[in-house]
Structure 1
Amino acid sequence: MSDLKFGTSGLRGLVTELGDNVCAAYTLAFLKHLRNRHDVPADGLLLVGHDLRFSSPRIAAACIGAAKAFGMRVENCGPLPTPALALRALSLRVPAIMVTGSHIPADRNGLKFYRPDGEIDKADEAGILSLLDLEKPASLAGGEAGLSGEALSRYIERCASLLPPGTLAGNRIGVYQHSSVARDIMVDILKEAGAEAIGVGRSDVFVPVDTEALRPEDIAFAEKTCREMRLDALVSTDGDADRPLIADENGNFLRGDMVGLLTARFLDADAVVTPVTSNTSIEHCGFFDHVYRTRVGSPYVIEGMNRAGSDGRRCIVGFEANGGVLLGTSAAAGARPLDALPTRDAMLPILSVLGMAAREGLSLSKLVEGLPARFTASGRLEHVPAEKSAAFLKSLENADALRGFFADIGSIEDDDRIDGTRVVLSGGELVHYRASGNAPELRCYTEAASKKRAAELLAWGLERARRALEHDPEKL
């Protein structure tokens, strides 16, 4: 069985399964789909970029070779952040392929596909798979293509324009570089904004930094570095720089959804689009006229931003619980308006949060303390087949079964089925179940007015679901 499959961030799988012929076959299927469904000419321009993991240059060369054999012209953008490649593709109205596994371990990698108007959607994934031919050896022209720095330069210009020079003067900011493809430009951009930016933790091997599941060593590193170096903040990204990490002066990392909230506030958004797993501080803060909730995954956030656009919203900001921010409209910020960039970006939230703290004259910890106190927890039951999770969630659609399931924890004030089953209990406490989109797991998320209570709800939620799954989930 192949490990390769599409998830919420493109095609992912083991490097051993991403051989040259396989990568070429997916590239050809993508280009054929674009020609058939999106009127992209077979001799048009394709952009290709990659992150810093050891397998990425070889995979990028296979994609370039297949595209050239197909008749496409190729701009090799080299190593750069995913949002930098997307920005260049959108500005030229051409497709792109980013070779990245984001935060997953180095023995894995992936391909992220962009249409001329942005990320592919689920219909595009189906179209690509329908044209995929893994049996026929792919034609590979030379995988060499002259390296172009234009995409990276344009992205740096965009980031530098967000904060006026000197905005961060007096701030001592550490840049946890590890193997982030943005590790050097982060230092340069922060210096341009006036900060004393210091690179730390650079690595010659790939480090799988996951902004939603930080390793204990990342947490300890942040606390130690901020304390010993007397930093005002420590910032970083995942491998392909589409998800940010921001720690305050004490080395405490800000939750991704709080980073998104602060970014939207800094950009004066009137509409926010975010999945149901994000904290309800977004509604409680009162900063935004409209909050759109979606399923988990950037394709659904993009759908929600399109819906907000159809509703005539002025400034639309989307974000996920991992902190990646998508800009659905232009925004008035910095020296010039920012153009829309409807794909996850790490530098936009990093600069926005630091800029907001500087504007308010607050430390990052004080900035976060000003937000509504809502605490979340999350966990999972592993080795739960998809069909069993589906049966469990289906059983909770029955109103009587739902009330009975939660009877010993509280009464239900509201519930929804946007992505799984999310229940609001008396007093505003929240329990949410959803099946994982990329693993045989049932996930549980909770929210309450204290960290302790959120943890208690999570323990209850996991144990209650485990007992239900041991029996017939259709007969709760």
Structure 2
Amino acid sequence: MARLFGTDGVRGEANRIVTPELAFRLGKAGGYLLAGEGQRSNILIGKDTRISGGMLEAALVAGLCSVGVDARLLGVIPTPAVAFLTRETGAAAGIVISASHNPFGDNGIKFFGPNGFKLPDAREEEIEDLIQGNLEVLPKALGAEVGRVEEFSSGVEEYLAYLESLFQGTLQGLKIVVDCANGAASQISPRLFRRLGGEVVSIFDQPDGININHHCGSTHPEALCKAVVEQGAHLGLAHDGDADRLLAVDEKGNLVDGDQIMMICARFLKEQNKLENNTLVVTVMSNLGLRLAMEEEGITVRETRVGDRYVLEEMLKCGAVLGGEQSGHIIFLKQNTTGDGLITALNLLQVMVNTGLPLSQLASRMQRFPQVMVNIPVPDKEQALASPRLAEACRKAEERLGKRGRILIRPSGTEPVIRIMAEGPNRMELEDIVGSLAEILRQS
């Protein structure tokens, strides 16, 4: 049987894969195990703006209450806010209903432990084993033991107050365009930057349940790039659906990706003597230019497989305080236990305010090597990757690039696709290589 939990919780098409029945079982099993096997406790639940969020929330709540766990509902709120509030309030766990950057038809469920960190694999396996076994053996909460449901209406404000406390100075004089992706950041991110004194233009901030991530946000920053130039703004900020990612746009309308943001922040933290162990943690997808820029600064770069959970594991292992992904999942471990798009934005803005430099100049300190990437849908990821023809074609492509570049082929941890990436100095050559490899996968 396929594993239920992926690299970022349980995720799939809502009401087909991620069903109310599954949500109920996750609530029941997760609630029982995380609340101390029958101990009275509470678990926080937050969600993004997807139309299926309410349906899955109702089922989760029923599962939790059936095993005597109180459910505290945060409503629509960024994923990292749930991690923060779980830790701050002493909750037994936090649950997020979101599929992050995926289309609106998908949804997902992921858990945070009482320390605000995502659950380790072993803990997820315990929940999964219980779900796939006989849940009826769990003791039923009866009478006054049944869990209660409470609206945690002050949660958003508590999170905003914490974010405000992190920033030193004011954003007065800065014009910022914020793309909220019609997601969880829609009512939070613009408020934060206005409170700090910035002039804010907010776009894609009218969620209707089905427009989350649709031609907007960090996966589609084209409209933001255009808006920054049209508005004469100093920068643009792009969230994804659950606001755990951030990409930026400079004053000239150029995209500033996660690698560049990490470069800017790592240099600044080092200058402030706050880059512990002088180390930055990145993934195999990070651009070669980031590694070279960090080498020039004397900053050690540690590399992990793709997935912010693996970045976090390495950060904890090596004592790093900064790590992340090119996609904009960036962890500032002194400030939150998971990727946080609003905290990333605050750190980037802090550099701009302190240095007085435009974002284009800050980002120019790293040369980005061309990367060509494509996602190929496949029915069986393991079978597709095991193709001898693919292995031979990949070997020849690597010989062709030599030390000037690299090839990376990997399965997505959240979608039924294989990702192909080629990196090197010549974009046309990379497109030719990726096209050939993609065709082999399509025929497999």
TM-score range, shorter chain: 0.7 to 0.9
**Residues 360 and 464 of structure 1, relative CA distance in 2, 3 Å threshold:** same
Within a 5 Å distance, the mapping from 1:80-99 to structure 2 comes to 80-91=77-88, 92=90, 94-99=92-97
Q: Partner of 2:176 in structure 1?
A: 173
Percent identity (aligned): 24
Q: Partner of 2:288 in structure 1?
A: 280
Q: Partner of 1:21 in structure 2?
A: 21
Q: CA separation in 1, counterparts of 2:435 and 2:217?
A: 19
Q: CA separation in 2, counterparts of 1:89 and 1:181?
A: 17
Q: Partner of 1:346 in structure 2?
A: 341
The amino acid that maps onto 2:193 is L
- Secondary structure of the 1:161 match is helix
2:194 to 191, 195, 199: 191
Q: CA separation in 2, counterparts of 1:393 and 1:159?
A: 51
**Residues 433 and 86 of structure 1, relative CA distance in 2, 3 Å threshold:** same
Q: Partner of 2:250 in structure 1?
A: 248
Within a 5 Å distance, the mapping from 1:326-365 to structure 2 comes to 326-328=331-333, 330=334, 338=335, 341-365=336-360
- Secondary structure of the 1:28 match is helix
| 1:28-73 deviation digits (Å, cap 9, x = unpaired) | 12233436xxx56631221111112222123223222221221112
The amino acid that maps onto 2:430 is L
- State whether residues 100 and 111 of structure 1, in contact with CA within 8 Å, keep that contact through their aligned partners in structure 2: yes
Q: CA separation in 2, counterparts of 1:87 and 1:407?
A: 43
Deviation at 1:293, TM superposition (A): 0.7
**Residues 407 and 226 of structure 1, relative CA distance in 2, 3 Å threshold:** closer
2:302 to 272, 285, 292: 292
- State whether residues 61 and 143 of structure 1, in contact with CA within 8 Å, keep that contact through their aligned partners in structure 2: no
TM-score (norm 1): 0.80
Q: Please tell me whether residue 72 in structure 1 is matched to residue 48 in structure 2.
A: no
> 5+ unaligned residues in a row in structure 2: which ranges?
none
- State whether residues 276 and 296 of structure 1, in contact with CA within 8 Å, keep that contact through their aligned partners in structure 2: yes
Within a 5 Å distance, the mapping from 1:258-277 to structure 2 comes to 258-268=260-270, 269=275, 270-277=278-285
Q: Partner of 2:5 in structure 1?
A: 6
- State whether residues 272 and 288 of structure 1, in contact with CA within 8 Å, keep that contact through their aligned partners in structure 2: no
| 1:62-120 deviation digits (Å, cap 9, x = unpaired) | 22222122111222222211111101112326311111121222222111111123101
Deviation at 1:162, TM superposition (A): 2.6
How many residue pairs get aligned? The number is 426
Q: CA separation in 1, counterparts of 2:41 and 2:147?
A: 17
**Residues 171 and 27 of structure 1, relative CA distance in 2, 3 Å threshold:** same
Q: Partner of 1:413 in structure 2?
A: none
Q: Partner of 1:426 in structure 2?
A: 403
Q: CA separation in 2, counterparts of 1:108 and 1:119?
A: 20
- State whether residues 42 and 70 of structure 1, in contact with CA within 8 Å, keep that contact through their aligned partners in structure 2: no
How big is the alpha-carbon RMSD for the aligned residues of Structure 1 and Structure 2?
Answer: 3.2
- State whether residues 212 and 321 of structure 1, in contact with CA within 8 Å, keep that contact through their aligned partners in structure 2: no
1:376 to 371, 374, 395: 371
Deviation at 1:288, TM superposition (A): 5.5
> 5+ unaligned residues in a row in structure 1: which ranges?
310-314, 331-337, 411-424, 472-476
Deviation at 1:124, TM superposition (A): 2.4
Deviation at 1:373, TM superposition (A): 3.9
**Residues 393 and 381 of structure 1, relative CA distance in 2, 3 Å threshold:** farther
